[in-house]
Structure 1
Amino acid sequence: METKPTQTETAHKSADRRIQRTRNLLQEALISLIQEKDYDDITVQDLLDRANVGRSTFYSHFLDKDELLMSGLEKLRVSFEEQHQKLGLELGLKNSERQVSLAFFKHAQSHYQVYKAVVGKRSGTMITKTFYEYLKEMFRGYLAKNESPGGVPLELVVQFQASSLMALLTWWFDNDLPYSAEQMNNWYHQLAGQFLA
């Protein structure tokens, strides 16, 4: 027998949806603004105007625009991890570096507006640095299981792979994705193989 939710439970679910809706509006506002002007030039007032929310509402969710940014990047990271697992199941691949980077390119392609804001020309130092640290963490996790090529220290390989991927992603988005995710992944490994062979 199914039990009906109480009034308190219904009100709580409704409040949760409102909170999530407000957070989504603010994150979407930030993404759209980054495509128009540099991140460092965006003010909280710009965000309020774009999202059509009040100042007290903004500050009830976030301390400042940097915290808003970090919550969006965390949401992106979780989304990537989910897509990476799904792709691994579909392709039946082991957790290889090639699979990780393919999942990354596919995720970037399917979240075009967000990645364009993150790696594009207007992203700003904080976004670039935070995203670069995430890439290094991702590669460190997958490369730690394998022996470094030619005895190169793991940290150097991590730096090389993360900076190479960041450079290719930036070029790819600045040129409006002229090639598929699969093609970019193939070239990424072809180029990396020449240096790490």
Structure 2
Amino acid sequence: MTKVDRRILKTQEALKKAVIELMSEKKFDDITIQELSDKANVSRGTIYLHYLDKYDLLDKLIETHINELREMCKAAADMDFIDGSLIWTEYFDQNYTFFSMMLTSKGAPYFRNRFLDFLVEEFQDEVDITKGINEGLNKDVVVRFVASAYVGVVEYWFTNDRPFPHHVLAEQLGTLLERICN
């Protein structure tokens, strides 16, 4: 595996931070490459060395977080829903600026759909429609319901500026998931 130059990582981090900061000020579609280069203190050409355009930059930023969540799911495979949710909510809390912008801003409306699709994929194996309260229900409907509810609660938490600590959110989400998915 090749080692990535620290300067490249530093530039990419500066650009990711710049796009989030600019999104807190204006809609994503209104952000220019020049504004990104000014905010990140890099040339316009440097941006194009790393990304096709601002949409590619945002897409890569979103993909980074989705991949982190995916890895956390793998690590939490043997945990109960409360402990698994704690890992996620801690990550949400640590990356508050990103998730808050993506879930409460009009700047990146497609993030919500990417997040929802990711959760639908993750909950596929968790929902059992052969017994319990889900018996006889359509699996796609139950999975979509669970994923949509999860996104909605997380949005609520960010929109209301984290009205309670992330571990309380984890406990509530985990308890609800255990009721629906077991």
- Identify whether the pair has TM-score above 0.5, normalized to the shorter chain: yes
CA distance in 2, matches of 1:82, 1:67: 22
Q: Residues 82 and 174 of structure 2 are in contact (CA less than 8 Å); yes or no, is this contact kept in structure 1?
A: yes
1:100-156 Cα offsets, whole Å, 9 max, x none, are 43322221012111111221233432222222222222222x42xx52222222221
SS at match of 1:122: coil
Corresponding residue of 1:6 = none
State which of 56, 74, 88 in structure 2 corresponds to 1:67: 56
* 1:186 and 2:175 aligned: no
State which of 82, 87, 91 in structure 2 corresponds to 1:103: 87
Runs (5+) with no aligned partner, structure 1: 1-11
Q: Residues 121 and 174 of structure 1 are in contact (CA less than 8 Å); yes or no, is this contact kept in structure 2?
A: no
Q: Residues 102 and 112 of structure 2 are in contact (CA less than 8 Å); yes or no, is this contact kept in structure 1?
A: yes
CA distance in 1, matches of 2:146, 2:112: 15
Q: Residues 128 and 181 of structure 2 are in contact (CA less than 8 Å); yes or no, is this contact kept in structure 1?
A: no
1:97 Cα deviation from its structure 2 partner: 4.1
State the TM-score, normalizing by the size of structure 1.
0.76
CA distance in 2, matches of 1:40, 1:128: 16
Per mean C-alpha deviation after superposition, the further-off stretch among 19-28 and 101-110 is 101-110
SS at match of 2:163: coil
CA distance in 2, matches of 1:180, 1:108: 11
Are residues 94 and 196 of structure 1, via their aligned partners in 2, closer, same or farther at CA, if it must alter by over 3 Å? Answer: closer
- The percent identity for this pair of structures is 29
**For this pair of structures, how many residues does the alignment match?**
177
Q: Which has the higher contact order (CA 8 A, sep 6+)?
A: 2
Q: Residues 29 and 47 of structure 1 are in contact (CA less than 8 Å); yes or no, is this contact kept in structure 2?
A: yes
1:58-107 Cα offsets, whole Å, 9 max, x none, are 01110111111121122213333455566x4xxxx824444443322221
* 1:152 and 2:137 aligned: yes
Q: Residues 89 and 166 of structure 2 are in contact (CA less than 8 Å); yes or no, is this contact kept in structure 1?
A: yes
**Structure possessing the higher radius of gyration over alpha carbons:** 1
CA distance in 1, matches of 2:27, 2:171: 32
State which of 10, 35, 41 in structure 1 corresponds to 2:30: 41
- RMSD over aligned CA atoms reads 2.7
1:26 Cα deviation from its structure 2 partner: 0.5
* 1:115 and 2:99 aligned: yes
1:2-51 Cα offsets, whole Å, 9 max, x none, are xxxxxxxxxx96x7111111111111111111222222322222211211
SS at match of 1:178: coil
CA distance in 2, matches of 1:181, 1:84: 17
